[in-house]
Amino acid sequence: MKRALIISIKTAPGLPKEFFLIGNHLKSLGYNVEYLLNFEYDRFILPQIKEDNVIHFVKMSNNMVRSYFIEWKNIRQEIIRKCGRAIYDYICIYNPHPLCHRLMEFFYKKNPKSIRSVVLHEPYVPFKERYLYGLSGYIKILFLDYFSQLLLRNCTDVILPSKQAEKLYQMMPYKRQKLRTHIVPLLLTSEEERERKIRDNKYIAFVGTINKARDIKGLLLIADKIYQKWPNIKFRILTRQNINIKSKNIEVIKKDFILDDEISNFVQDSLALFLTHTVAAQSGNVPVAYRVGTPIICFNVEGITQHIDFGKTGYIIDKDNIELDFNRAIEYLINHEDEMRANCIAYFETVFSQKNISKLYEWLEDKKEQ
């Protein structure tokens, strides 16, 4: 039986449900699947999933510099002890970490004939947009760029979530030209339709971290003005950040640990999900929203609007005319709520549902048969 190893050592909430879908599909193709994960994933993974899968947890610091320069020797020994002696036919890195190029080099030497792929959610940030991240963010991007180039040297395939991500990947300098590329949207399991609560006080949802590339300055400027026209509609932010916002129309829900179901319920019960991205290759919040039938409000950013059918699954607003456009968006969403929710679910089933995984990973099945 062929063997596969899925690696994810850069922890991010929500990712397990994505890479376990890949693993389950590999099992359907006859692979014996194992996972090499950062130990912090332990708290995100349900006990039943742990029982049903072979998972190797590795202990490492969240500080990328420390893990790369100080901890690598110990991490390498731990990996050799747990899974480093096996021969794998397929190796997939999900959500790259600077250490991943060392891991891929290590497994490549042991498995030179294997298929070695990397999933790049945000493959490249153009130089003209890097100023949005500040000096420290700019340096971090340069740091990650360099290690991405090293990682790609030992890969055979690159998996990208969208056409926009593919465009950004093609902009990467010094990349290996012979890599095969595959467009695979962020996939989620379909869920049974849940009864939606009838709410007297609706809200616009925001989920995640706030930085210069996901700016809420525009929201702060208009929040109180929106309240004057729509007193029953608030803005609610679900985040792990400490955010101090003084506005009677913005509620911040801060949690150190947020479960996937909490995010789904939070987004489902909202009138719309507001994506404030000013630059992006894609957003994992789009399939989350569409799965529960929630439309999206966003700026005209190609990485987001590639999945927005204006007036059907979302509403695109002009950042320079945010107050007027936002009022129009709210009015439109209220008047077309049921229709848009049905459209969002239909879009999810067509693009983001795991039902599409066989077609999207046909290239793996072809390789398996060779």
**pLDDT tens figures, 113-124:** 999 999 999 898
Residue 195 covered by a domain: no
Percentage of residues in the chain having pLDDT higher than 90: 63
Residue 70 covered by a domain: yes
- Which comes out higher in pLDDT, residue 197 or 258? 258
Start-end of H helices in 70-198? 72-82, 100-110, 134-152, 163-171
Task: Measure the CA angle with vertex 300, ends 296 and 302; round to 5°.
Answer: 95
Range of the domain at 216: 203-352
Domain shared by 32 and 181, yes or no = yes
pLDDT tens-digit series, residues 64-118: 889 999 999 999 999 999 998 899 999 999 988 999 999 999 999 999 999 999 9
* Domain count of the fold of the chain: 2
Residue 26 covered by a domain: yes
Domain shared by 92 and 40, yes or no = yes
Average pLDDT, the chain: 89
pLDDT reported for residue 14: 72
Domain shared by 250 and 281, yes or no = yes
The band of 212, judged by pLDDT with boundaries at 50, 70 and 90, is confident
- Distinct helix (H) and strand (E) counts, the chain: 15, 13
Residue 246 covered by a domain: yes
End-to-end CA distance of the chain: 14
Domain shared by 176 and 224, yes or no = no
Domain shared by 245 and 347, yes or no = yes
Residue 197 covered by a domain: no
Give yes or no for residue 194 having a pLDDT over 80. no
pLDDT reported for residue 79: 95
Residues 6+ apart with CB under 8 A from 263: 14, 207, 238, 288
Domain shared by 41 and 110, yes or no = yes
The band of 257, judged by pLDDT with boundaries at 50, 70 and 90, is confident
Asked whether 26 and 364 are in contact (CB, 8 A), the reply is yes
Residue 193 covered by a domain: no
C-alpha 318/C-alpha 124 separation (Å) is 25
Domain shared by 78 and 179, yes or no = yes
Domain shared by 149 and 278, yes or no = no
Give yes or no for residue 339 having a pLDDT over 90. yes
Residue 341 covered by a domain: yes
Domain shared by 226 and 327, yes or no = yes
The band of 200, judged by pLDDT with boundaries at 50, 70 and 90, is very low
Distance of CA 180 to the CA centre of its chain: 22
Domain of residue 74, CATH code: 3.40.50.2000
Domain shared by 240 and 147, yes or no = no
**Which structure tokens are listed for 299?**
């700026």
14 vs 81, 201, 205, 276, 337, CA distance in Å? 28, 28, 18, 20, 27
pLDDT reported for residue 333: 95
Residue 327 covered by a domain: yes
Domain shared by 324 and 358, yes or no = no
Q: Which of these, 196, 179, 202, 180, lies nearest to 274 by C-alpha position?
A: 202
- Which comes out higher in pLDDT, residue 200 or 29? 29
E strands, the chain, are 3-8, 32-38, 54-58, 90-94, 115-119, 157-160, 180-183, 202-207, 233-239, 250-254, 272-275, 296-299, 314-317
Q: Which of these, 294, 296, 309, lies nearest to 341 by C-alpha position?
A: 294
Domain shared by 8 and 98, yes or no = yes
Give yes or no for residue 149 having a pLDDT over 70. yes
pTM tops 0.85: yes
Distance of CA 192 to the CA centre of its chain: 22
pLDDT reported for residue 228: 87
